[in-house]
């Protein structure tokens, strides 16, 4: 019922996203990995090279962290927590997949071809291509914002922002279509999970405190109780998962300057 409620409240976002996924799946099944990548990179220019190097930074984990802190400053504490949980959980999931699935990046995969558009000092020449960490981060962010926004007219611009960041990863020669597609799915999925787990809990906590005091609840008190309760419940599970993969560093979640992203 909660999933149905999220879909109903964000119908425009999900219908547009499913349409994009259908297009992505068509390309993936209709073309080989290499041909699909070349098809989507049919045109490059110095201006687009510069523009997409800027756009791709929006998928950097640092951008999500700065956005989270900005929300705290303007006292959007509930939304800031949702952004952080969605970003962190989806980022960890993406990094675990990268650790176990060592797929070559386009520059390595296509090194014996004459593909001309790799950008010097930008394109990575290594592995850990699957899935796209930047795409995961941006879709986790735009999904949570779309869910939380009262005005649903922002759904399509937010989704377009995610698409631009995802395409920038292919344009810059960092990822294939499958990496970006799965990255977006991880971002959206963990945003939904975060919303379902914590939204109802926050509302119940707010009502409980309000009934006890018989007045408008203190937002600071709600935020800190909320943060303390949730982190104590879920942080041990996250730490145990990280200990199980003690050779896996989570630092790439926070920076685009590491080869895992």
Confidence of residue 99 (pLDDT cuts 50, 70, 90): confident
Query: Which residues, 6 or more positions from 65, have their beta carbon under 8 angstroms from its beta carbon?
Result: 87, 254
Q: How far is CA 98 from CA 79, 153, 203, in A?
A: 28, 35, 36
Measured CA to CA, the distance from residue 135 to residue 91 in angstroms comes to 10
Handedness of CA 101, 67, 11, 195 (dihedral sign): positive
* CB neighbourhood size of 158 (10 A): 20
> Which of 214, 208, 161 is closest to 187 using CA atoms?
161
Domain boundaries, the chain: 2-254
pLDDT 10s digits, 179-213:
999 999 999 999 998 888 876 665 565 555 555 55
pLDDT band at 253 (very low <50, low <70, confident <90, very high): very low
Q: Quote the Cα angle for 228-67-166, to 5°.
A: 115
Residue 84: name the closest of 184, 226, 261 by CA: 226
Share of the chain above pLDDT 90, in %: 48
DSSP state of 218: P
Q: What is the pLDDT of residue 22?
A: 96
DSSP 8-class letter at 103? P
Report phi then psi at 99, rounded to 5: -65, -40
Residue 209 is predicted with a pLDDT of 53
The arithmetic mean of pLDDT across residues 219-245, rounded, is 53
* Least-confidence region, from 81-85, 159-163, 246-250, 255-259: 255-259
Angle made by CA atoms 96, 194, 56, in degrees to the nearest 5: 60
From the list 46, 172, 165, the residue with the least C-alpha distance to 107 is 172
- pLDDT interval class at 252 (50, 70, 90): very low
Q: Count of CB atoms within 10 A of residue 231's CB?
A: 13
């Amino acid at each position: 019922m909660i999933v149905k409620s999220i879909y109903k409240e964000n119908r425009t976002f999900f219908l547009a996203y499913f349409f994009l996924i259908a297009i992505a799946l068509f390309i993936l099944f209709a073309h080989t990995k290499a041909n699909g990548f070349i098809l989507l990179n049919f045109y490059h220019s110095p201006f687009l090279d510069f523009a997409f190097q800027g756009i791709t930074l929006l998928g950097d984990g640092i951008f999500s962290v700065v956005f989270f802190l900005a929300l705290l400053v303007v006292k959007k504490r509930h939304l800031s927590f949702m952004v952080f949980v969605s970003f962190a959980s989806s980022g960890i999931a993406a990094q675990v997949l990268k650790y176990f699935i060592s797929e070559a990046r386009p520059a390595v995969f296509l090194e014996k071809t004459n593909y001309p558009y790799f950008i010097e000092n930008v394109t990575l020449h290594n592995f850990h291509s699957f899935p796209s960490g930047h795409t995961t981060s941006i879709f986790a962010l735009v999904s949570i914002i779309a869910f939380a926004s009262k005005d649903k007219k922002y759904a399509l611009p937010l989704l377009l922002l995610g698409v631009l960041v995802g395409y920038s990863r292919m344009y810059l020669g960092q990822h294939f279509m499958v990496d970006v597609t799965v990255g977006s799915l991880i971002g959206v999925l963990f945003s939904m999970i975060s919303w379902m787990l914590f939204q109802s809990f926050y509302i119940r906590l707010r009502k409980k405190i309000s009934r006890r005091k018989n007045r408008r609840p203190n937002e600071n008190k709600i935020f800190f109780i909320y943060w303390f309760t949730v982190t104590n419940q879920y942080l041990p599970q996250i730490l145990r998962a990280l200990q199980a993969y003690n050779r896996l560093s989570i630092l790439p979640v926070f920076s685009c300057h590491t080869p895992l992203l």
